Structure 1
Amino acid sequence: MRPRVVCGIAAAVALFATACGSGDGGSASITAQPAPAAGYPVTVADCAGKETTIAKAPTRIVTSNAASLEMLLQLGAGDRVIGTGFPPGKGTLPSALAEQGAKVPVLGDKAVPKEKLLGSGADLYVDTFGAMPMMGGGATGPSEAEFAAAGIQHVYLLSTACAGTPKAAKAPRTDLAGIEDDIRRLGAVTGTAARAEELVTGMEKRIGEVRTALAGVPEDKRPSYFVFDFDAGTKQPVAVCGRQVANAVVTQAGARNVFADCDADFKPGSWEDVVAKNPDWIQLSVRNRGSEEATRKAYDDAEAFLRSFPATQGLKAVQEGRFVRLGSEVTTIAGVRNADAVRQIAATVHPDLVKNGQ
């Protein structure tokens, strides 16, 4: 994670919307519920291939941020989550999950402090990021030995934790298989494998419908596409590169990410780079502001900037008003709703072929 984009897309990956806000997260407590006993032990690996064996279903889970929290809520294991870092901002969770998500105690408005995490009483920590300095202060998280001493097993969402590491695949990410694998893996770890399969099946159905609708569109006829992270600031744009989840979302939606060829997840860019790419479509990517009115204003502000900024006002997409209004949270963060983002983008850039993008 890069400090310069801590309020933008990279922050959305880290915090799902609120590290730039001041939410207190509340003080609600959650009683751990009985977990399933079948299907264990389960063995999972980290980005380097180091394996962790889960002997029984966890009953007290801490999540590093709202991305892994939402995945657990979707899986039906939310009643076992006793705390999170980077809590979900108001309006960012699906309405069906919002009430339960709001009850999860916040252990850190940014990263969970090391001492608080180790003393939380958790038996599982679900980490969206992987081994890196923890966001919000430069301190590192617990070592694996410290996790073990506290009785906490440590697992990762590999689709995001590995994206910026040397172990990541060099080729651009073009499908959602890694995200689906994370859902299945977390389902196995929490004893909710059946629900995980339901979620993945639903994702594959939605994406498959888009893929079928766009089957006749040749690669070279698919429009070029730039994800504009308005919340990162306007002085220097951020390139969403080939390893990022958003590259897969854009590709599956029948478009071509203009920065797919940079071998990273995110990379500082320049407006000169964007002008040289002259994208056919621009996604106005903003964080949910907590209300439809406030979020709409953020989209309006992002569009107004592109229309008034000398470097961008002449771009093809700006001149023709080809904007996609779609939030950072569902585009750049691994989750079930990536499939919905695929459909929404496809319905916007290929309106004659894909319907009902909302």
Structure 2
Amino acid sequence: MRVRVWGGTAALVLGGLLTAGYGGGKDTADESAGKAVSGGYPVSVTDCKGARTTFSAAPKRIVTSNASSLELLLRLGAGDGVIGTGFPPGKGTLPGDLDAKAQRVEVLSKSVIPKEKLLGSGADLYIDTFASMGSMGGGGMGDAPTEEEFKAAGIKHIYLKSTACAAQGKGPVTDLSAVEADVTSLGAVTGTRAKAAELVAGMRQKVDAARKAVRGTAESARPTYFFFDYDAGTKQPTVTCNRQIANAVITLAGARNVFADCDGDFKQVGWEDVIAKNPDWIQLGVRNRGSEAANAKAFDEAEQWLRSNPATKGLKAVREGHFVRVGSERTTIAGVENADTVEEIARALHPGKAG
């Protein structure tokens, strides 16, 4: 195992993150959360392979790879320490005052932050959402810096495991414990442990209520469900597989992801594959347009496309009008709002039982 340590030897290790999304379950996440609430610095976190990064104090200049880690930091109250981001959230994408705070963060790139720009950013921490570790060198997407280059630039490099490590998991992602563990980890690293515990408790309350509502419904009797990623293109659908956080959201809401037999996160298929699945429900997964009116228009467009396309208008969900209007980001990007999406899907599919 490689070990990366900056400042300090003894440390609180949030090792539960390593297994939380792949069978570690609530007990693993509980253990990490309890330690994080009671412990102080130094704090250690591990990457997808167990390599450890240790913090002797809270980072002061953070760069995030995309909107997922940025949003988590904002929700934790650690957003003032963020000096830049890649893949910024669109205006109006985040709720309430989080949106205004997100728009004030400098955009280092609208996609992957170029290597030279990241290393020269002056950051003391980079939070990586993308990494496909072992297959793309030492970092995440694109021409990423090596761990040696990060260290030479004085930048600690950690990962959101709920996204960066998901595709390498040993089994399907069926719960939100990896997201909870990321919240707990970032709370410990940034000194916002109490807020992290509050966020995790809120997520569990919503998910537990949804699961309780559908507990009496046998697995085989639960409706089949297709996440229609309208903005990914309609010529060839991109589907969410069993290592994507959307699979957990769908499962917890009391449904069966029709592409849960696909190992990985996303995959392109043909419309004949969707027709063969003939889902009971379809989620109109459009990306946030920045306003309720614009979102409503996008949902209408996605629904109309399904109703008018010869290949899809005969699907059971389309014929019966079984559409769920919940945006893509809240479903496919790991974050606190995954729990809200579980609640909303459960309410739509199991009326009178959930919510």
Shorter-chain TM-score bucket reads 0.7 to 0.9
Q: Give the C-alpha shift of residue 112 in structure 1.
A: 1.3
Residues 64 and 82 of structure 2 are in contact (CA less than 8 Å); yes or no, is this contact kept in structure 1? Answer: yes
Task: Considering fraction of residues, name the structure with more helix.
Answer: 2
From 147, 165, 178, the equivalent of 1:144 is: 147
Q: Give the 3 Å change call, closer, same or farther, for CA 57–270 of structure 1 in structure 2.
A: same
User: Does 2:159 align with 1:156?
Assistant: yes
1:300 match: secondary structure: helix
Q: Any idea what the Cα deviations from partners look like across 1:268-317, whole Å, max 9, x if unmatched?
A: 11111111110000000010111222211111111111111111111000
Q: Give 3-state SS (helix, strand or coil) of 1:62's partner.
A: strand
Paired residues for 1:113-128 under 5 Å = 113-128=114-129
1:65 correspondence with 2:63: no
Partner secondary structure for residue 106 of structure 1: coil
The C-alpha deviation readout for 1:329-355, integer Å capped at 9, x for no partner, is 100011000000000101111112113
Q: Hey, what does 2:298 align to over in structure 1?
A: 298
Q: 2:65–2:128: 8 Å Cα contact kept in structure 1?
A: yes
1:283 counterpart SS class: strand
Q: How does 1:38-187 map to 2 (within 5 A)?
A: 39-131=40-132, 139-165=142-168, 168-169=169-170, 171-187=171-187
Identity across matched positions, percent:
63
Where does the alignment leave 5 or more consecutive residues of structure 2 unmatched?
1-38
Measured after TM superposition, the shift of residue 211 of structure 1 is 1.2
Residue type matched to 2:89 in 1? P
Q: 1:172·1:261 contact (CA, 8 Å) conserved in 2?
A: no
Q: Secondary structure of the equivalent of 2:297?
A: helix
CA separation in 2, counterparts of 1:94 and 1:61? 22
Q: What residue identity is the alignment partner of 2:148? A: A
1:46-75 deviation per Cα after TM superposition (whole angstroms, max 9, x unaligned): 112211112221011000001100000001
* 8 Å contact kept, 2:132–2:165: no
Does the residue aligned with 1:108 lie in a helix, a strand or coil? coil
Q: How many residues align?
A: 312
Moved over 2 A (4+): 131-134
Alignment of 1:254-273 (within 5 A): 254-273=254-273
C-alpha distance in structure 1 between counterparts of 2:87 and 2:238, whole Å: 21
1:226 alignment partner, SS class: strand
Deviation at 1:109, TM superposition (A): 1.1
SS state at 2:167 partner: coil
User: How big is the shift at 1:164?
Assistant: 2.2
Q: Distance in 2 between matches of 1:191 and 1:352?
A: 41
Residue 96 of structure 1 deviates from its aligned partner by 2.8
Q: Distance in 2 between matches of 1:282 and 1:91?
A: 25
Cα distance in 2 for residues equivalent to 1:335 and 1:282: 22
What is the TM-score with the length of structure 1 in the denominator?
A: 0.85
Aligned partners of 2:54 and 2:236: how far apart in 1?
A: 43
Could you say what the CA RMSD is over the residues aligned between the two structures, in angstroms?
Answer: 1.4
Moved more, 205-214 or 124-133: 124-133
2: CA distance between counterparts of 1:344 and 1:96? 22
- Secondary structure of 1:98's counterpart equals helix
Worse-superposed segment, 198-207 or 123-132: 123-132
Q: In the aligned structure 2, how far is the partner of 1:197 from the partner of 1:96?
A: 21
Mapped to 1, the partners of 2:275 and 2:53 lie a distance apart of 46
Residue equivalent to 2:232: 232
Q: Post-superposition shift, 1:178?
A: 0.7
Question: 2:66 touches 2:86 (CA, 8 Å); kept in 1?
Answer: yes
Task: Return the letter of the residue paired with 1:80.
Answer: G
Aligned 8 A contact 1:241 1:259 in 2: yes
Which AA in structure 2 matches 1:219? E
| Length-normalised TM-score, structure 2 | 0.86
Give the equivalent residue in structure 2 for 1:18: none
Q: Which has the higher contact order (CA 8 A, sep 6+)?
A: 1
Secondary structure at the counterpart of residue 181 of structure 1:
helix
